[in-house]
Structure 1
Amino acid sequence: MSAPPNSLIPQQTQRVSPVDLLRTLCEKQVTGSLWVASNGVNWLVVFEQGRVIYVTHDLEPLVRLGEQLQRQGGPGSVLAEEVRPLINTLFAQKLKEPASGRVGYEALLWLMRQQYLTREQALEVCERLTREALESLLLVSEGAVVFSPQTHLSQTGYSFELSALLTYCQERIRGWRALGAPVWSPYQRLYLTSHVTPQKQLPELHQQFRVHLRGLSFRHLAIQTNYDELKLAQSLLPYIREKVILLREPQPPFHQLPRLLPLQPIAPPVKPACTIACIDDSPTITNEIRRYLGDTGFEVIAVNEPLKALMQIVRLKPELILLDVGMPLLDGYELCRLLRKNPLFKKTPIVMVTGNTGFLDRAKATMVGATDYLTKPFSQEGLLKMVHRHLAV
């Protein structure tokens, strides 16, 4: 998967919020492929009507499939000893093609068609591979992104709810980060040192682990011992801290995957830079404004009852007021005029929010003391520009 079809990924990178991006695509019930490229790694997420079919990246797709086959069948099984080499032989040539990351999925479908795996077994393997790739994708903060309406993958009839996948992967990431600074990747390699005497008494490591602590990563060690890799890392953490086990960089190409950052100490709550009151009888609009401004350091207070708005605004004393024009019983123009009569709000920026764009509407807003005019529908960028224009933030 060195590049998406037709080299669709742009050269310029951008800030990426994978969670928001995936949720948006699922909410729109899209069918197609999302490509994310970062630090030489390309991720692929395939959707069908807003559900996730598969998530992968282009680092050793057949190796990762083979490991999951070994986990499925166990060491010495037909899947581990016969099918795994067969897959490598049949699909190795495809690794040289563009979008090679999906080769693992194509091989998985082939295994199901050839009845090496039942449909239920293929689903288990697919879900583990999807979770593994999604977990690393959620750590990406900057990359090139493109969406294609084509999936390029045969469908199996099964798919996954994004919310369940996110819940699982985010919980896993929290677990990894809780381990602290020594551990920053599931692909870090572990080495057992025999000459180090621990400062505190630790139980003797089980022989099952000792024979493998010669450069296997947490992930590969978990495959060999049939353990969950996070629980494995948690159990080995005391030995790592006492330097009985040393950690080394991931083996290429897995060193290209984004790093985990340890959990930071919880800081005391910080007062938001400014309080913004949003007066609108529509909860949909106030929720959208809160979503647009909620992660940018502002505290957004929604006021949905125009008749009670004046009392609430006097109590809140916001630094800026976003005021809808078309409200029942008491419209925005009249409310703006009443606010300007109060000495507390003589200089408070009041931005009228409306779908009307006529000259007379703007003139009326100016006459009642409005500071500015924001036309619906508005983008997050447009809203932020308006807020920053009138607040010294």
Structure 2
Amino acid sequence: MSPVRPFKKQRLVEAIARIYQAQKTGKLSVSRGRRCWDLYFESGRLAYAIDPVHRVRRWYRALERYCPDAPETLFAPSDREEVWEYQCLQEAIVGDRITISQAKSILYANAREVLFSLQGVTDTTYRWQDRTLDRPTLFVPLSLSALELKQLLRDVRALSQQWYSLGLRPPDANRAPRLARDGHASGSAFLNLLEAFDGRHTVWDLLVRLDSSMSVVTRLLHHFLEQNILSWKTLKDVPLREKSPVRVPKIACLDDSLTVRNSLESIVSKAGYRFQGFQDAVEAVPAIIEQPPDLLFLDLVMPVANGYEVCTQLRRVSALESMPIVILTSKDGVVDRLRARWVGASDFLTKPVCKTTVLKILFEYLSESNDVALNPISSQFTSPLNSQFEFA
């Protein structure tokens, strides 16, 4: 990483243009006093922009607007990088949980807010630092192209001009407007706006809450200010919700053969699951009843009690009625299969076990459960990424 170098004093647009022309990768820090904005670039393209004011609120707001069905995996990882939002988007695309279109819409919306907050800020200092963003490798860059960046700058400039013409200041966008309840206005429309403009949502929040454009909200703000029924409230940022830990399924195997247990453990563990092996039924049955696995591979021929007897005993326990039980045997006759079904077995697997067949069984039975993670197997069945880009 190279040392930090100051940029010559110039306008932000000129600094961004220089970075793009030089195809630079790194971080441009724009500061004024204790306030600092960071713009990250990859090969001259704007990758992500950060304003510490309402950084987390801005992230959740973008998710709500462009990824309303965003899974918990889009929450910040526990091992957060400096630009954890960018890391989350990259991992979500690689995992086929969101599209590149959605991710780029988030990038654009986020950058618009950050650049808008810089409007009217004077006496700023620019500093550049060469650095790379830690991320998975995508087949397309997750950053704004030259055309998208030009459109972004035009949008910010037009929005800024509108705000100043109506007597508003860009910093007000991060504040919460509140309508006076004793105002002279009345009617259902005003009552609805009264609920929205309640001092608990910033102007940016209201765009999502009202599903409206900044132009419409700005005109409303101007109208209420002229009526002298609007006040401003400063809000703190919201706390960052950590990603919930994912429960990894446990696969058990009851087989008196060490070779079979070792073979299954190798397949199951490499697929990302937990494994628990048992040699005899006397040890296995109480343990399985106390802490049921997500699936059980059960040997058919064993001393003391065979697989049919063990399966029958386990099915008598109400908590184990739906647990998948797969019979393991070197036999593959019709009678054996019918008897296995009769005692409640879910499936039949012939020895020696085959990796492909084992993984297929795990996917078939565990995918029916809603409370376990299937990323080791389901990742083999993901659909191609959608590379179409359009702003919502």
TM-score by length of 2: 0.51
Q: Can you list the C-alpha shifts for 1:359-379, whole angstroms capped at 9, x where unaligned?
A: xxxxxxxxxxxxxxxxxxxxx
Q: Can you list the C-alpha shifts for 1:334-360, whole angstroms capped at 9, x where unaligned?
A: xxxxxxxxxxxxxxxxxxxxxxxxxxx
2:64 matches 1:70? yes
1:285-304 correspondence runs (5 A): none
How far did 1:16 drift?
Answer: 5.0
2:87 matches 1:109? no
CA distance, structure 1, for counterparts of residue 236 and residue 5 of structure 2: 24
- Unpaired runs of 5+ residues, structure 2, are 239-392
Distance 1:205 1:40, change over 3 A: farther
CA distance, structure 1, for counterparts of residue 220 and residue 157 of structure 2: 20
- Unpaired runs of 5+ residues, structure 1, are 255-393
Equivalent residue, structure 2, for 1:151: 132
1:349-364 correspondence runs (5 A): none
1:293-332 correspondence runs (5 A): none
Q: Secondary structure at the match of 1:24?
A: helix
Q: Contact 2:49–2:110 (CA<8 Å) still a contact in 1?
A: yes
Equivalent residue, structure 1, for 2:113: 132
How far did 1:150 drift?
Answer: 1.7
Q: Secondary structure at the match of 2:133?
A: coil
Q: 2:77 aligns with which of 91, 94, 101?
A: 91
Q: Can you list the C-alpha shifts for 1:128-171, whole angstroms capped at 9, x where unaligned?
A: 11222122234432233221222324365143213222212111
How far did 1:7 drift?
Answer: 8.7
Give the total of aligned pairs. Answer: 231
Q: Secondary structure at the match of 1:130?
A: helix
2:32 matches 1:38? yes
Distance 1:61 1:253, change over 3 A: closer
Distance 1:66 1:208, change over 3 A: same
Distance 1:165 1:78, change over 3 A: closer
Equivalent residue, structure 2, for 1:270: none
How far did 1:182 drift?
Answer: 7.6
Q: Contact 1:189–1:249 (CA<8 Å) still a contact in 2?
A: yes
Q: 1:170 aligns with which of 131, 141, 157?
A: 157
Q: Secondary structure at the match of 1:195?
A: coil
Equivalent residue, structure 1, for 2:385: none
Q: Contact 1:45–1:55 (CA<8 Å) still a contact in 2?
A: yes
Equivalent residue, structure 2, for 1:383: none
Q: Contact 1:47–1:53 (CA<8 Å) still a contact in 2?
A: yes
CA distance, structure 2, for counterparts of residue 62 and residue 70 of structure 1: 12
Amino acid at match of 1:243: N
2:219 matches 1:231? no
CA distance, structure 2, for counterparts of residue 219 and residue 87 of structure 1: 21
How far did 1:70 drift?
Answer: 0.6
How far did 1:27 drift?
Answer: 2.6
Amino acid at match of 1:222: L
Equivalent residue, structure 2, for 1:213: 197
Pick the structure with greater CA Rg.
2
2:173 matches 1:186? yes
Equivalent residue, structure 1, for 2:102: 121
Q: 1:222 aligns with which of 207, 232, 245?
A: 207
Q: Contact 1:42–1:58 (CA<8 Å) still a contact in 2?
A: yes
How far did 1:206 drift?
Answer: 4.7
Identity, % of aligned positions: 17
Q: Can you list the C-alpha shifts for 1:9-48, whole angstroms capped at 9, x where unaligned?
A: 88xx995521221122223332322122224333222223
Equivalent residue, structure 2, for 1:340: none
Q: 1:18 aligns with which of 12, 33, 38?
A: 12
Q: Secondary structure at the match of 1:214?
A: coil
Q: Secondary structure at the match of 2:174?
A: coil
Amino acid at match of 1:173: S
Aligned Cα root-mean-square deviation (Å): 3.2
How far did 1:114 drift?
Answer: 2.8
How far did 1:69 drift?
Answer: 1.0
Amino acid at match of 1:91: P
